[in-house]
Structure 1
Amino acid sequence: MGVYEGFDYGHDSPCRTREGGGGPVADVESRTCRGCGATQLSRYNLSALCARCRRSKPELPLDFWTSDSLGGALERWDVGALVRAYRRHTGVSQSAVALLVNIDQSEVSRLERGRKTVRDRRQLLTWTRALGIPDSLVPRLPDERAGTHRNAVLACVAGQYRADTGDWRSPLDIAHVDQFVIELQQRDNASGGDRLLSDTERCLHEVVASLSAGSTPDDDKALHNAAAQLAQMAGWLSLDAGRPADARRNLTTALYAAHMTGDTSLAGSVLGYMSLTALYHATPVEALALAQTAHDSSSGARTGRTGAMLATRMARALAECGRHAETRAVLHVAERGFSRSGTGTTSPVWLTYFDDGELLAQQGTCLMKIGALHEARVCLDSALQYLRSSSAGNLRDQVHYLVRLADVGRMAGELDEACSRAREALALNQRISSTRMSNNIADFMARLQSQRSARPVRRLLEEAAELGILS
């Protein structure tokens, strides 16, 4: 490869110090030059190369680079492993290698320790040509590059896990992650998400760590699916626990993982949750854009239960944007889709929460937002009765529906009814752990302040203040 005069062999050369002083000398055993493989080295030669090889850039034979270990490093584009092997067999220093590609020695150190990687084939060829590796051995793409890259991105998006003390612990078992997600949904609907978030995020980060550590293609898809489901659940629980930033991060993780599995229905569901998150933070235009994207990107799921769920997300955003006629039209789409799904239809695990009660509640909320108060009351009352007739009970959801019914009464001017519903919500809220429900109740009480002169309102506000809902 031509003459190279600038090699530095001083710091990394394989030598030892002479016992009793007198400076360093090479091992006394006979050694052969690692560069040419033929010249016998003097015992006073501090490097692993003969004088001729030191005057030229050391080259290694072809079979050196085609060995199993280095052939695999080439296939993976693992330049750090290539540089380490090159230096080990030639005795050159990191500084000398750095001069080959005109970078600092610290960058070579980072490369060898895995702190720096090449990003494209042009960079790779700069290194392989500097090391004397024939271009014919350099692959155009690294093996499993997509999997390695996407897992690194997933780990980056998921962020660091922040451990919190919770009241419930469940071990992670990938084979039973579906059942775990169902159990999370049931516990969330029953008692709120505050106490479930830490355990869910812990399991999510265990899955992401497993992906980052490497997995087989079959396990890879299963792990990405588990990550998507757990991250979606963690996003919703974060929202329920009053952590909007965590909700966005977890849902972003879920969306990325869902796309890795190619599950457009699950990706649409995640976008639907993102739409709800935007609604809860008073950005209805963003919510509508997310709901529309969810619908458009889930072309294979516009019918049946998944299509019905996505339609309710769209209807909620349309209602908040004041588009009444479109809201009603999309609600009809949701109802038709749900009825067509049938009781015997298998739904994805992450959609088991979307039952008759949830559909009624979403319809009632949309109708309330567009001012159809009588229809809204009918739907929300039916949703509440559906919950109370079920074995689960779902206290958190009951609180949610009661607050909405209280708002319907307030908007209709029926203050006794509004206060009665709100009082029920206050009592049940003491038995659950949901920051979002406490905030919903507090927001409702704030809306009642303008009617404080009415006796039932005044008494309700006093009760809420005693419970710490109002300051």
Structure 2
Amino acid sequence: MPNPSHIPELPARLLADPEMITACRDRDFSKIFTLVRRAGLYPYLIAQRTGLTPSRVGEVISKKRKLRDMQVIERVSDGLRVPGHMLGLARRPWEAPAAGSPAAKPEAVVPASSLHTVQPVSAIPGTDLDSILTAATGPRLSPSTLRALHSSIEDYWRRDDEHGGEVLRPAVVGQLRYVVDLIKEASEGAYRDSLFGIAAELARLTGWIYFDARQYSQARTYFAESLQLAKAINDRPFMANVLACMSLQATYEDKLADAVALSTAAQDTAREHGATPRVMSMLSMREAFAHASMSSHGARLAAHASLAEAHRQFERISPEDPDPAWVTYFDEPKLIVDTGIAHGRLGEAQVAEPLIADALQREDARNQRGRAFHAFWLATTQLQRGNVDQACSTATLSLETASSVGSERVMGHLRDFQSQLAPYSQQPEAVAFRTRLRAALQ
């Protein structure tokens, strides 16, 4: 594949064409590949630039196949020189601003000290929402403004649970940039502190969306930014929440020592501020996940100790506790299913299976990604117990649910499940699941 730095850019007129903008927003690669012909990029050149085979390019154009894999989408962005924000991606490495322009500074996480002096957050990628957001002139901050912003974050999280966050990313990043602009307009006081808190929540949500898409480098950037925004107002519990997210990501990246260290730091940070039992329970569960992914005897003991602490803290929860909004999701079904998953990670399938099955029956049906994720773990524990038919049936349920949610993380788990089926690859149930998974990934 050619070096992106040596690839000519598409004509500005083509990139500004409403058809192209809509096709990129919808990730309609059939339309995109058709439109770039105007720039002389015919299928064989598209294939050469993007690392796809000519036959696959032809199948995309004829709508026989779709492109969903984020790495492939990034290759298309780089190979065709479609700006990242048009496809809902972060700014691509080749999108260097003109030398000497204000945006020419390297992308980096902004130190908390600079936030106090109201510098723009240069790490935030561009988005086509800019034209909409800049139409707001002279925003007047009020309690209703803050309530509206918090309400939008709640709605983003709900839609993320139901549909996945990939399609939300441009809107969330756009709102983050908007709130940072509001911070520049706000005077010192409660409104300004509240805006820092809202910006921290939006940065964490953006990090979570990238994490769920398994784009870990971008996720780390936004999690770090969220930490700095929360540190600017000394919101220690929220900093602990972000550290817990980073611990979970480190677990996925198999950086298990880092995962344990981050979860421990999260608990220490929260404890310093007198965090509620629900917060401490959630953080202890994250530590349990990290230990449970290790193989040593000491890690197994530590995982059981963290699980016991999570349950002990949960039993201390009172309706009068001033729980922050971001931890209210950690209810009894979530405690149960996470306990089951931790036992599953430890290979204790006999304990794990009934816990996960019970939680699946009780959890909110609207949380599509969560249900797909938990069904995968139920299938894994059933397979560990030798129930191949039942495991494949449950994994198929997970796949059907995941198909309606844009979550590369869940699809990655299902690919792992297919690998676990290798000893049973000739059994009809395993063959049927493999066929369904292949069709879903096309």
Q: Larger deviation: 237-246 or 207-216?
A: 207-216
- Structure 2 Cα separation of the partners of residues 402 and 286 of structure 1: 28
- Whether 1:189 aligns to 2:161 is yes
8 Å contact 1:151–1:212 — kept in the other structure? no
Q: Is the 8 A contact 1:234 1:247 kept in 2?
A: yes
1:257 and 2:229 are equivalent in the alignment? yes
Q: Does the alignment pair 1:385 with 2:358?
A: no
Which consecutive aligned stretches of 4+ in structure 1 deviate over 6 angstroms post-superposition? none
Q: Which of residues 308, 324, 328 in structure 2 aligns to 1:352?
A: 328
**Amino acid aligned to 1:274:** M
Q: CA deviation at 1:439?
A: 2.0
Alignment CA distance shift 1:401-1:301 (3 Å): farther
Matching of residue 149 in structure 1 with residue 110 in structure 2: no
Q: Which residue identity lines up with residue 368 of structure 2 in the other structure?
A: L
Contact 2:291–2:303 (8 Å) recurs in 1 = yes
1:159 aligns with 2:123: yes
- Is the contact made by 2:112 and 2:229 (CA closer than 8 Å) also made in structure 1? no
Post-superposition Cα deviations, 1:375-428, rounded to whole Å, max 9, x if no partner, equal 1112211221112xx4x5311111000011111122222111110111111111
Aligned residue number for residue 136 of structure 1: none
User: What is the correspondence of 1:164-243 to structure 2 with a 5 Å cutoff?
Assistant: 173-213=145-185, 215-243=187-215
3-state SS, counterpart of residue 205 of structure 2: helix
- Equivalent-residue separation in structure 1 for 2:168 and 2:330 (angstroms): 20
Higher helix content, 1 or 2: 2
Q: Note if 1:457 corresponds to 2:430.
A: yes
8 A Cα contact 1:163 1:202, kept in partner: yes
Deviation for aligned residue 1:343: 4.0
Across the aligned residues of Structure 1 and Structure 2, the Cα RMSD in angstroms comes to 2.8
The equivalent position to 1:413 in structure 2, one of 386, 391, 403, is 386
Matches within 5 A, 1:310-329: 310-322=283-295, 323-329=299-305
Decide whether aligned partners of structure 1 residues 242 and 163 sit closer, same or farther in structure 2, where only a CA change above 3 A counts. Answer: farther
Alpha-carbon distance, 1:466 to partner: 2.3
Q: What CA deviation, in whole Å up to 9, does each residue of 1:238-267 have, x standing for no partner?
A: 211332222111111111111111111110
Q: CA deviation at 1:352?
A: 2.3
Q: CA separation of 1:153/1:243 partners in 2, compared to 1, >3 Å: closer, same or farther?
A: farther
Task: Look up the equivalent residue of 2:127 and give its one-letter code.
Answer: A
Residue 213 of structure 1, CA deviation: 5.0
For 1:163, what is the secondary structure of its paired residue?
coil
Mapping 1:46-445, distance limit 5 Å: 149-151=114-116, 155-156=120-121, 159-163=123-127, 173-213=145-185, 215-299=187-271, 300-301=273-274, 303-322=276-295, 323-387=299-363, 390=364, 392-445=365-418
1:38-92 CA distances to partner (integer Å, 9 max, x unpaired)?
xxxxxxxxxxxxxxxxxxxxxxxxxxxxxxxxxxxxxxxxxxxxxxxxxxxxxxx
Q: CA deviation at 1:208?
A: 1.7
Shift in CA distance, 148/465, structure 1 to aligned 2, threshold 3 Å:
closer
What do residues 194-235 of structure 1 show as CA deviations (whole Å, max 9, x unaligned)?
122221111111112232456333332111111111111111
Provide closer, same or farther for how the CA distance between residues 208 and 428 of structure 1 changes in structure 2, counting only shifts above 3 A.
same
Query: In structure 2, do the counterparts of structure 1 residues 303 and 243 end up closer, same or farther at CA, with 3 Å as the change threshold?
Result: same
Amino acid at match of 1:163: T
Counterpart of 1:325 in 2: which secondary structure?
Answer: helix
Q: Cα gap change, 1:218/1:466 in structure 2, threshold over 3 Å: closer, same or farther?
A: closer
Number of equivalent positions:
320
C-alpha distance 159-329 of structure 1, shift in aligned 2 (>3 A): same
- TM-score where L is the length of structure 2: 0.67
Aligned AA for 1:329?
A: A
Distance 2:313 2:285 in 1: 11
Alignment CA distance shift 1:357-1:187 (3 Å): farther
SS at match of 1:341: coil
2:126 aligns to what SS in structure 1? coil
Name the structure 1 match of 2:11.
none
Distance apart, 1:185 and its partner CA = 2.1
How far apart, CA to CA, are the structure 2 residues paired with 1:427 and 1:247? 27
The Cα of 1:329 is off from its aligned counterpart by 1.5
When normalised by structure 1's length, the TM-score is 0.63
When residues 438 and 351 of structure 1 are mapped into structure 2, their CA distance, relative to the original with a 3 A threshold, is: same
Moved more, 266-275 or 331-340: 331-340
Q: Counterpart amino acid of 1:380?
A: I
Q: Which runs of 5+ in 1 are unaligned?
A: 1-109, 117-145
Q: Distance in 1 between matches of 2:402 and 2:162?
A: 11
Larger CA Rg, structure 1 vs 2: 1
Pairwise CA distance, 1:152: 5.7
**Alpha-carbon distance, 1:369 to partner:** 1.1
Deviation at 1:351, TM superposition (A): 1.4
TM-fit CA distance, 1:320: 1.1
Distance 1:380 1:219 in 2: 43
For 1:251, give the aligned amino acid: F
1:240–1:301 Cα change, 3 Å: farther
Distance 2:377 2:292 in 1: 15
CA contact (8 A) 1:254 1:270 kept: yes
1:463 deviates by 1.9
Distance 1:234 1:335 in 2: 30
Distance change (3 Å), C-alpha of 1:287 and 1:363: same
Q: How far did 1:467 drift?
A: 2.4
